[in-house]
Amino acid sequence: MGWISGIAVYVIIWWLVIFLVLPWGVQTVAAEDINRGHAPSAPRRPRIVLKAAVTTLVAAVLWLIVFAIIESGVISFTQP
């Protein structure tokens, strides 16, 4: 796998993982705390930085697994 392909695969894995991580620990705002113009379903503390860090670590581990599988020849993208 070339470095451009590696980056592309990592970005795809990262985006898939972020959508899996975003709902973790979400608590909505209480009904009495809703201000005018805010969605009642908005999270109280989204913790985006923590979720981005977890996503980066999980995506790196998954990318290493994908890289190992591709480099070992188990999956090949070239024609025989």
Pair 33, 48: CB distance under 8 Å: no
The 10s digit of each residue's pLDDT in 7-18 is 999 999 999 999
The 10s digit of each residue's pLDDT in 34-66 is 777 777 777 888 889 999 999 999 999 999 999
For the chain, domain boundaries = 3-72
Pair 16, 46: CB distance under 8 Å: no
Cα angle, residue 9 at apex, residues 52 and 20 outer, rounded to 5°:
40
Q: What is the identity of the amino acid at 58?
A: V
Given pLDDT bands bounded at 50, 70 and 90, which one contains residue 80? low
Helix, coil or strand: residue 42: coil
